[in-house]
């Protein structure tokens, strides 16, 4: 029987250390935003650290959402969000936005009117 004890604080300290204490990403990335990594980006990510290389490997050859990246790498979502935003800024990942920013308010207003009309039926 193994008598070694695991320090329960390790699980709390590590995510904080991975993001160097940051809790907010450099840019806002939606959970459903699609991210990819080219073979060149994966190769370059090796020099950015183990966690960033894992993320790039998950996105190589297959588009992944931010939520999927967190799940596949078993990282807390907040940590994945900070690292992915860093990687997009450093050109280690390519961000494909789900919808263009312009016209968003108009589309939301239209969807609201459609929903309102459906509720009346």
Can you give the residue ranges of every domain in the chain? 10-119
User: What's the CA gap between 58 and 52, in Å, rounded?
Assistant: 10
Answer whether 51's CB lies under 8 Å from 18's CB. Answer: yes
Q: List beta partners, residue 34.
A: 65, 96
* Neighbouring C-beta atoms of residue 115, cutoff 10 Å: 9
pLDDT of 30: 81
**Predicted TM-score of the model (pTM):** 0.66
Q: Consecutive sets of 10 residues in the chain, 121 residues long: mean pLDDT of each?
A: 53 57 70 89 89 92 89 87 90 79 73 77 61
Q: Are the C-beta atoms of residues 84 and 33 closer than 8 Å to each other?
A: no
């Amino acid at each position: 029987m193994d008598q070694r004890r695991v320090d329960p604080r390790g699980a709390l300290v590590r995510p904080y250390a991975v993001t160097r204490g940051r809790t907010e990403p450099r840019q806002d990335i939606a959970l459903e935003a699609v991210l990819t990594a080219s073979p060149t980006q994966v190769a370059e990510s090796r020099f950015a650290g183990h966690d960033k290389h894992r993320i790039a490997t998950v996105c190589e050859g297959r588009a992944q959402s931010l939520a999927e990246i967190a799940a596949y790498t078993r990282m807390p979502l907040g940590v994945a969000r900070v690292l992915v935003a860093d990687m997009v800024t450093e050109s280690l990942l390519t961000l494909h936005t789900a919808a263009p920013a312009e016209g968003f308010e108009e589309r939301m207003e239209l969807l609201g009117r459609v929903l309102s009309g459906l509720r009346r039926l």
